[in-house]
Structure 1
Amino acid sequence: MNGLTAWMEKHILPVAAKIGAQKHLVALRDAFIGTMPATMAGAVAVMINAIIRDLPTQFIDGYDGNTIPVIREIIGVNGYVWNGTLAVAGIIFAFSWGFNLARAYKVNDLAGGIVAIAAFLQGVQFSVGATVNVPKGTLTQDALDALAAGDGTGSVIGSSTVTDAVTGQVSEFDTITNNAWGWLKLDHLNANGYFTIMIMGAIAVIIYAKLMQKNITIKLPDSVPPAVSNAFAAILPAAIGLYVVAIINFVVGKVTNGQLLIDLIQEYIAKPFLGVSQGFGILVVVQLMIQVLWFFGIHGTNVMSPVLESVWGVAQLKNVNIFQNGYNGKTGVDAVLDAVKDGEAYNWVRGSFDVYTMFGGSGGTIVLLIAIFLFSKRADYLTVAKLSVGPGIFNINEPVMFGMPIVLNAIFFIPFIVAPIVTTLIGYVATVSGFVAPVSQQVVWVVPPILMSFLATMDWKAPIVTLICMVVAFFIWLPFVLAANKMDPSLGEEN
């Protein structure tokens, strides 16, 4: 075991350290973290609505929170919070991504955030296209004229006929085609836009940053206030970056006969990534990388955050939005389950890792503390455990990681790696089989484990699965705690 640790320390640790310090990945991690004030506010709004609007329907027949005074108003207020947060999470993320990427290049970060938003918004859908056939005579001529006039964008009014294949009867319809411009498509502004933002925002901001670094800017006299000077300096680099993205959007539209780049990225990049993310094999790989990084003292969750948030985080936001808005006429958990069947929602999302593998922190270390309290004879371990149990309840495990320590401690390497993979399997099977509902709420990671699993899924069976995961993890950790009793705490050798 010591030989394996030495080999990994020599060959894997340097690579892991370089990945953890890579500025684009650090900027992406910080961009996701930067959106938390808004996304968590939206998540709280959805969660409150889930508790007062959707959860009671599972136990009370005929319950409708939208008809109950006070509850109805709270639901309405939470809807406004959702409108300004998760409904437009893409815009919020775009600014955060551009801001942090520009900061990584040590140029004007405010301008970087604005460039990223502009690069993103120029490629979203600005028009509403819909065609409706209305039986002839249903609408008066005045109504048809009003539709055609509209707000200046107008609709096209035509006519069509349909012949019944059996009776031969001919029916006439007024065909109304709406091509109104000036309506932003909400599905482009929410988490669906994340992959487009990461790609197109990076292109625009990196061009802007490189030109700023080369001092290709508009220069003003020193007497001009810094705020004005900085804004003018960013004009030329920002414009060039935005024009490059505009040309890409234009060319793609011409080549694809008018398709938007955001739709193509969603179809051919985002969906395949999200589809692959639902396989158990990739979950094992990601969980393994998190644990190995942690074992060497590198914050594995933070290093893997760009992957966790850009793939499983996007999947989670989709689940949250479907829970809020409904799907196929259903709401809440039922809507999410229906959407999963149609591939529009996901069984395993970012919060699933927290619910089923990270109780007490990475490695499920809260059960290690329980095992130490029950079976450890080592005074040093018991002392650290007493200091670590408080933070551990809230999934903060740095005290046990560095105090026990688990970092570079060969005797704990195997359970620290194996326990999360086994509990991932348990949570994955329970979710995919339909025994528990998928995670559909974004719960802050410091919520204690059992409570977290209920709030994250709105399913009373989820805490049972989490408890099973904890018991299994406990028995994985236990033999190594017993083995540690035989080790001399000062020499690390058997007595």
Structure 2
Amino acid sequence: MNKFMEVLENILMPVADKLNNNRYLTALRDGFMVALPLIIFGSIFVVIANFPFLDKIISKGAFETYQQMLGPASDATLSIMGLFVIMGIGYKLTQHYGLEAVYGGAVAIASFLILTPQTLENATGVIPTEVLGAKGMFLGIFTAFISAELYRFFVQKNWIIKMPPGVPDAVSKSFSALIPITFTLGAFLIVRIIFGFTSFDTVQNFIYTIIQQPLTHLGSGLTATIIAVLLIQIFWFFGLHGQIIVNSVFDPIWYALNDENLQAFKAGAGELPNVVTKQFVDSFLVGMGGSGMTLAVVILIFIIGKSRQTKELGKLGGPAGIFNVNEPIIFGLPIIMNPLILIPWLVAPVVVTLTTYFSMSWGLVPRPAGIIVPWTTPVILNGFLATGNAWQGAVLQAFNLGLVVCIWWPFLKLLDKNYYETEREDKTNEVKANQEKHQVLG
């Protein structure tokens, strides 16, 4: 076991360190965080617009009017989430270089729009919302990275207009950004013109066909999902925030899959296209007490815990675990570098991934509806909302939680026994020491 852990540490730690410190992955992660409040806002109104049984209570016309009234909330956020992510990436990457970040965000959006088709059927000057969401996600990410780098290059080359002293700061900064922005946007305009002479017609079609579709297909598979889940667990075991590291790579794929499901759900499609989405991972794995589904550990502590250490940990980690915050368990049990719990820590998430995947693939449970449920939403309610207000999602979460409890039971019992025996031994030694002290004083 020790040799295995040493091999894992030697292989994974350098990789994790590089991923964690990579400026592009950091900007990508932070870019999604910028968009997250807007995405959650839109998701909340999707839930409200599709409240269960409402269509049975009011007339069909009233229900359609009700949905139309709430529709702009998601159309202006979820449907065009790519724009917010692009702005966030450009802003954060430019900020990393110590430059005026707001121009990095602005030039990223403008560059993306230059490359984006602006025709819809026979109408020109119209941008289809689908390319501002899932379909345009990968192009937007690449564009944000490249535009921020070009902007940085031109600024650091000092190709700027310097205004005389006394000019207001806002005006001076605006003119300083003029040439770098002009050259950056000019470069993207040239790219658009070149692609107009190819069979792809637009960069959007090229990226979607050559890169996004194959990667999305790969990322939606069971094997890739299990690998991602295992990496999250392994990184956490060595004290690294596995979710942040792995999500930096997989989030563009999972969000794109999520958006495809959302559009199908809003259109009233019978079966949604994807099983694996962002919410598949966040609700049915992370949404059960945090990474590793440690709410099951808290439940077990209250059932079988005898040692003082685990009992106190249960009291401390219980309230936080209900809202999917599990740092007290990860660092208090501890899970980090603890060989006694390595097996359940790795096995339980894989088992839950399998049960969730096949339950949804076989139609026993509705697939994630594309609704971004806030990550602090408690288990059961989380599954209900993530599947578009379906009771089967709540039942699946309860079933999975029971599975995790069963997997952890023998290992936690052994760990608790070790703690209990150590505490008894310490107490015995303390009593002996006190007795010896009294005898000496007497």
TM-score of the aligned structures, taking structure 2 as reference length: 0.90
Q: Aligned letter for 2:400? A: C
Residue 186 (structure 1) aligns with: 129
Residue 125 (structure 1) aligns with: 117
Identify which of 130, 142, 151 aligns with 1:208: 151
Counterpart check, 1:481 vs 2:409: no
**CA offset at residue 247 of structure 1?**
1.6
Residue 26 (structure 2) aligns with: 26
**CA offset at residue 376 of structure 1?**
2.1
Residue 99 (structure 2) aligns with: 107
Residue 140 (structure 1) aligns with: none
The C-alpha deviation readout for 1:275-309, integer Å capped at 9, x for no partner, is 11222110111001111111122211112222332
CA distance in structure 1 between the partners assigned to 2:255 and 2:305 by the alignment: 38
Identify which of 178, 193, 202 aligns with 1:260: 202
CA distance in structure 2 between the partners assigned to 1:394 and 1:464 by the alignment: 18
Q: Where do residues 16-55 of structure 1 align in structure 2 (5 Å cutoff)?
A: 16-51=16-51, 55=53
Q: Which moved more, 1:397-406 or 1:109-118?
A: 397-406
CA distance in structure 2 between the partners assigned to 1:272 and 1:336 by the alignment: 25
Total equivalences in the alignment: 423
What is the DSSP-based 3-state SS (H/G/I as helix, E as strand, rest coil) of the residue aligned with 1:191? coil
- Contact 1:217–1:235 (Cα < 8 Å) also in 2: yes
Identify which of 360, 381, 392 aligns with 2:321: 392
Q: 1:490 to 1:262 in 2, by over 3 A?
A: farther
**CA offset at residue 227 of structure 1?**
1.8
CA distance in structure 2 between the partners assigned to 1:128 and 1:281 by the alignment: 37
**CA offset at residue 18 of structure 1?**
2.2
- Contact 2:283–2:373 (Cα < 8 Å) also in 1: no
Q: Which moved more, 1:222-231 or 1:422-431?
A: 222-231
CA distance in structure 2 between the partners assigned to 1:107 and 1:28 by the alignment: 18
**CA offset at residue 488 of structure 1?**
4.5
Q: Which moved more, 1:74-83 or 1:380-389?
A: 74-83
What is the DSSP-based 3-state SS (H/G/I as helix, E as strand, rest coil) of the residue aligned with 1:265? helix
Residue 446 (structure 1) aligns with: 376
Q: Which moved more, 1:91-100 or 1:377-386?
A: 91-100
- Contact 1:42–1:86 (Cα < 8 Å) also in 2: yes
Residue 248 (structure 2) aligns with: 306
Residue 352 (structure 1) aligns with: 280
**CA offset at residue 73 of structure 1?**
5.7
CA distance in structure 2 between the partners assigned to 1:10 and 1:31 by the alignment: 30
Q: Where do residues 133-152 of structure 1 align in structure 2 (5 Å cutoff)?
A: none
Q: Aligned letter for 2:284? A: Y
CA RMSD, aligned part only? 2.3
Q: Where do residues 295-444 of structure 1 align in structure 2 (5 Å cutoff)?
A: 295-324=237-266, 326=267, 331=268, 335=269, 337=271, 340=272, 345-358=273-286, 359-440=288-369, 441-444=371-374
- Contact 1:34–1:96 (Cα < 8 Å) also in 2: yes
CA distance in structure 1 between the partners assigned to 2:399 and 2:14 by the alignment: 36
Q: Aligned letter for 1:473? A: V
Q: Aligned letter for 1:349? A: T
Residue 160 (structure 1) aligns with: none
The C-alpha deviation readout for 1:362-382, integer Å capped at 9, x for no partner, is 101000111121112221111
What is the DSSP-based 3-state SS (H/G/I as helix, E as strand, rest coil) of the residue aligned with 2:380? helix
- Contact 1:29–1:306 (Cα < 8 Å) also in 2: yes
**CA offset at residue 64 of structure 1?**
5.8
CA distance in structure 2 between the partners assigned to 1:202 and 1:236 by the alignment: 19
- Contact 2:29–2:244 (Cα < 8 Å) also in 1: yes
Residue 212 (structure 2) aligns with: 270
Residue 14 (structure 1) aligns with: 14
Gaps (5+ residues) in structure 2? Answer: 427-442
CA distance in structure 1 between the partners assigned to 2:393 and 2:349 by the alignment: 17
The C-alpha deviation readout for 1:346-396, integer Å capped at 9, x for no partner, is 111111112322210010100011112111222111101111010101111
Q: Which moved more, 1:375-384 or 1:481-490?
A: 481-490
**CA offset at residue 446 of structure 1?**
0.9
CA distance in structure 2 between the partners assigned to 1:119 and 1:490 by the alignment: 64
CA distance in structure 2 between the partners assigned to 1:357 and 1:37 by the alignment: 21
Q: 1:109 to 1:397 in 2, by over 3 A?
A: same
**CA offset at residue 448 of structure 1?**
0.8
CA distance in structure 2 between the partners assigned to 1:287 and 1:193 by the alignment: 26
CA distance in structure 2 between the partners assigned to 1:88 and 1:485 by the alignment: 50
Identity %: 30
Q: Which moved more, 1:40-49 or 1:200-209?
A: 200-209
CA distance in structure 2 between the partners assigned to 1:311 and 1:390 by the alignment: 32
Q: 1:491 to 1:108 in 2, by over 3 A?
A: farther
- Contact 1:107–1:213 (Cα < 8 Å) also in 2: no
CA distance in structure 2 between the partners assigned to 1:490 and 1:209 by the alignment: 61
The C-alpha deviation readout for 1:165-223, integer Å capped at 9, x for no partner, is xxxxxxxxxxxxxx332222222122221111011222112111122233332222233
**CA offset at residue 490 of structure 1?**
10
**CA offset at residue 7 of structure 1?**
3.6
**CA offset at residue 102 of structure 1?**
1.1
Residue 149 (structure 1) aligns with: none
Per residue, is there more strand in 1 or in 2? 1
Q: 1:86 to 1:416 in 2, by over 3 A?
A: same
The C-alpha deviation readout for 1:247-271, integer Å capped at 9, x for no partner, is 2221122122x61111221222111
**CA offset at residue 109 of structure 1?**
0.8
